[in-house]
Structure 1
Amino acid sequence: MIKLIASDLDGTLLNADSEVSPANAQAIRDAQAAGIEFIVATGRNLPQAQPRLSRHGLKPAFITINGALVYNEAGQVKVHIPLAHDLLFSVLDEIDRAGFYCELVIPDGVVSNSYAHRLADMKRALRRYHQNLSDDELTAQAEKRIQYLFTKYVDDYREYVTPDTEILKAVVFADGGQAALAPLKQQLEAQGGLAITSSGENNLEINAKDAQKGPALAAYAALKKITMDSVMAIGDNLNDESMIRMAKYGVAMANAVPQIKQLAWHVTATNVEDGVAQAIHHAIALNQQEKGGERNAVLY
């Protein structure tokens, strides 16, 4: 019996306009009405993620920043795993040596040392779904998006970080994609103590080792007295891998990277085809058939 469904946001629950579609929102309500709890699991922080659900009157729990901060439905923090400053500084050293731009994620926003780079990366993300827009139109959309995201601009990350500063994640961007980022990833993995994933072809996301979606989802499920045999996890990219592996019902989007599809128990439609809604309704049907003694027909 599926009792908890976790869904990634970007490339999964969100459509090409970076919004939750009416069909996906209704499916979440359908799940809740059927006694299935829903939780968002995202690399974003809460201020970036929550409005997309609240616009539909939805107030789920949130795994944010890849598991560094987890909130229950009431907004109370249940998991809190920042990056230790010594690890952060060694990460920044490696990024500087590699010559890449990076951003730091804090509980309520992002810290950047370059508006130009931030704009370029936003445009790159938008281009994935808006290939017909001109460069000027894309720039206008990217500038609008950035205005709604809290960003603190600083000259030097090391000067910004004081003993009281809390950094939850570092994100590295590269035009050359994962091939260009591979040597840096190898160097960072050799340091130990880090969880290094990706939410897109052109980035690396760096958290503390224990700040991963899978362990965070398992910890949240345990608080609810739910085992991972009763959990469905839906995602599309490498920062979803740990929860896809750990949940019995791992679901990949049709637009997911091959590695996630290979892990998945089931592949649903794309994020622009309301694939999450389809997966949720599949879960509801599985539960209904299990109650009627037809579990094997759904599973196999």
Structure 2
Amino acid sequence: MDGTLLNDQLQVSNKNIEAIQKAQTHGIEFITATGRGVSHAIISLDRANIHVPMILLNGAQVVNAKRETIFTIPIGKERTRAVLDALDRADLYYEVFTADHVYSENQPERIDFISGHLLKKVPGLSKKMAIAVSSEHLALTPLTYVDNIRQVLQETDEEVLKIIAFDKHGPETLKAATLELEKIGNLAIAASELTNIEINHEDAQKGIALKQFAEQRGFSADQVMAVGDNFNDVTMLRYAGESFAMGNAVDEIKQVAKHVTDTNEENGVATAIERVLSEEL
């Protein structure tokens, strides 16, 4: 969704909506695949009146069009504790996703991170305005702020499906933490931005979930198209018979995908759909 289906204002453009509807009238099934949880994903999708199955949390949860859970792949309690310990040692801000909640221990740090991200995305935006927009965005985003995430998880017995950690300085700062996390084992560590790492069970990946979703409906890989822009899309792009990297995708993703479409600000998803419907490929 982010950087692909959504533009920089976190909206689905009219052209993308029209292209999705056109594909559906041709009998093509459309499914979103995102690192977001369901409560975050539906904010933009509901505004666009898009009600489709969703691969969520990088493949840790899949829901049908009625938003009923088909399956989940949790990280596991002991492994979750080890991940949180590693992130604490690295002094990284993180959020913990379950099927029903997104937990955070630090609201000011979350606002600071989002506002910094906006300042890079929107030239000319003042720091004060960025903070105001970030606060407004978070007010619409269902985050649950708690004093102690570990304690809440123990009391509620919720299964952790994804953990995301942020650092505004980017990949070099996150590299050391990633190396520590890799020692834990049985984890999939990817990124949806250069300033984060996303941690799932090794079997919770977009490509694995997309393959299972397709096969349940009798489709083979050569009947599937995928569009993405960042590292958590790699397995999905490699699986699909036709794959598109967004024009705004990182260079490594453009090398993985078979084709490159327009940017998320230029309705790249619509362009990719139109290329397939016109039998250009």
Amino acid at match of 2:91: G
1:106 shift after superposition: 2.2
In the alignment, which residue of structure 1 is the partner of 2:183? 190
Amino acid at match of 1:243: M
Q: Deviations over 1:80-127 (max 9, x none)?
A: 111201001000111111111111112234211101111112213323
Determine helix, strand or coil for the equivalent of 2:114: helix
**1: distance between equivalents of 2:48 and 2:183?**
43
**2: distance between equivalents of 1:205 and 1:140?**
26
Counting only pairs closer than 5 Å after superposition, residues 1-300 of structure 1 correspond to structure 2 as 9-162=1-154, 164-286=157-279, 298-299=280-281
**2: distance between equivalents of 1:108 and 1:121?**
23
Amino acid at match of 1:152: T
The answer on whether the counterparts of 2:119 and 2:127 sit within 8 Å (CA) in structure 1 is no
Can you give the 5+ residue segments of structure 1 that lack an aligned partner in the other structure?
1-8, 287-297
The answer on whether the counterparts of 1:109 and 1:149 sit within 8 Å (CA) in structure 2 is no
The CA RMSD over aligned residues, in Å, is 1.2
Can you give the 5+ residue segments of structure 2 that lack an aligned partner in the other structure?
none
1:73 shift after superposition: 1.7
The answer on whether the counterparts of 2:34 and 2:56 sit within 8 Å (CA) in structure 1 is yes
In the alignment, which residue of structure 2 is the partner of 1:293? none
Determine helix, strand or coil for the equivalent of 1:12: coil
Distance 1:51 1:114, change over 3 A: closer
**2: distance between equivalents of 1:218 and 1:150?**
29
Amino acid at match of 1:14: L
**2: distance between equivalents of 1:11 and 1:113?**
26
The answer on whether the counterparts of 2:244 and 2:261 sit within 8 Å (CA) in structure 1 is yes
Amino acid at match of 2:95: E
Structure 1 runs, 4 residues or longer, greater than 6 Å off: none
Query: Relative CO higher for 1 or 2, CA cutoff 8 Å, sep ≥ 6?
Result: 1
TM-score in terms of structure 1 length: 0.90
1:129 shift after superposition: 2.6
TM-score in terms of structure 2 length: 0.96
1:187 shift after superposition: 1.5
Q: Deviations over 1:183-210 (max 9, x none)?
A: 1111111221111000001000001111
1:52 shift after superposition: 1.7
Amino acid at match of 2:22: D
Q: Deviations over 1:2-30 (max 9, x none)?
A: xxxxxxx0000000110101110111001
The answer on whether the counterparts of 1:42 and 1:66 sit within 8 Å (CA) in structure 2 is yes
The answer on whether the counterparts of 1:108 and 1:150 sit within 8 Å (CA) in structure 2 is no
**2: distance between equivalents of 1:138 and 1:276?**
27
Q: Deviations over 1:108-152 (max 9, x none)?
A: 342111011111122133234322210111111000000011111
The answer on whether the counterparts of 1:185 and 1:196 sit within 8 Å (CA) in structure 2 is yes
The answer on whether the counterparts of 1:79 and 1:216 sit within 8 Å (CA) in structure 2 is no
